[in-house]
Structure 1
Amino acid sequence: MEQPNVDLVQLSTEQILEAPESDYMNSAQLEFFRGLLIELYNTTNERIQAAKELMASPPEVNDENDRASWEEQSNMSLRILEREQKLLPKIKESLSRIRSGSYGYCLESGEPIGIQRLLARPTAEYCAEVKAVKEIKENAYRA
């Protein structure tokens, strides 16, 4: 995975939140989010590896209850693992959008996604309004 550019001054979360709107997605903010995404990628990858190692070496259990507990724990780990594996490509896509200059802007409307939303979900592709409409449509078609 790529490394953050240490030549740029690293902003803090507070500085990002306090910055004027005119600073939105300037080079320092892009570098901040680039570092955040790289860190997220690395920690996600570490959690995936740890979960795989845990599942690869099941404990020897003779008790049925212990075995059932292990199997339930394994099923939960599998769901978490699957979810985390889906996150890695999203992180890579976000890093690609940083390189292309489109990071921080809604893929559909072109409007700013917003600093608070990106801090909460650095891989966000849509502004809150567009995402809400998409979720309503998804739920309507699911019903």
Structure 2
Amino acid sequence: MTKQELLQQPADAYMNEQQQAFFRELLLTERRELQERIANEFDGLREHEPSSDPADIGSTEEQRQWQLRLLEREKKLLDKSDRALERLARGEYGWCEETGEPIGLRRLLLRPTATLCIEAKERQEKKEKHLRET
């Protein structure tokens, strides 16, 4: 099934077997790509050659810190993908954890690991913003 075919399905087909299979494959593909990027970043960190020039050491350390932050971000996304696959296996994928309403196909296509519908996510972000400001 293509994205276009997915979006053309009727509303009452939401999270039917075809749609679940589509998102399972999408999540598995993204997961494989993440694993490859993580492996490549680790390889890059291992290939680090020490330098005696202080400027090079500083530049290399800055690059290393950037790579570690990227690895941490990728690992978090990998964990989210795993949780989404678990929700799929339990039949909970595509439904808002807060409201129980459908998250929506378009939102899931943009962010397959989404756990909240747009309205619940907006409320969460407003609450977080309010807490940061106080």
Give TM-score scaled by structure 1 length. 0.86
Deviant stretches of 4+, over 6 Å: none
Amino acid in the other structure paired with 1:34: R
Residue 106 (structure 1) aligned with residue 96 (structure 2): yes
Q: In the alignment, which of 70, 85, 95 is matched to residue 95 of structure 1?
A: 85
Residue 59 (structure 1) aligned with residue 14 (structure 2): no
Deviations 1:82-133 (A, max 9, x none): 0111112211111111111111010110111011110111000000110110
1:73-92 residue pairs with structure 2 within 5 A? 73-92=63-82
Gaps of 5+ in 2: none
1:15-30 residue pairs with structure 2 within 5 A? 15-30=5-20
Alpha-carbon RMSD across the aligned residues, in angstroms, is: 1.4
Q: How far has the Cα of 1:61 moved from its partner?
A: 3.8
Residue 123 (structure 1) aligned with residue 113 (structure 2): yes
Q: How far has the Cα of 1:67 moved from its partner?
A: 3.2
Tell me the residue number matched to 1:42: 32
Tell me the residue number matched to 1:33: 23
Deviations 1:40-73 (A, max 9, x none): 1111111111111111221344544433332222
**Residue identity (%):** 42
CA distance in 2, matches of 1:15, 1:91: 23
CA distance in 1, matches of 2:8, 2:53: 57
Tell me the residue number matched to 1:8: none
Gaps of 5+ in 1: 1-10
CA distance in 2, matches of 1:137, 1:30: 31
Give TM-score scaled by structure 2 length. 0.91
Q: How far has the Cα of 1:29 moved from its partner?
A: 0.6
Amino acid in the other structure paired with 1:108: E
Tell me the residue number matched to 1:132: 122
Amino acid in the other structure paired with 1:130: A
Which structure dedicates a bigger proportion of its chain to helix?
2
Aligned residue pair count:
133
Amino acid in the other structure paired with 2:102: P
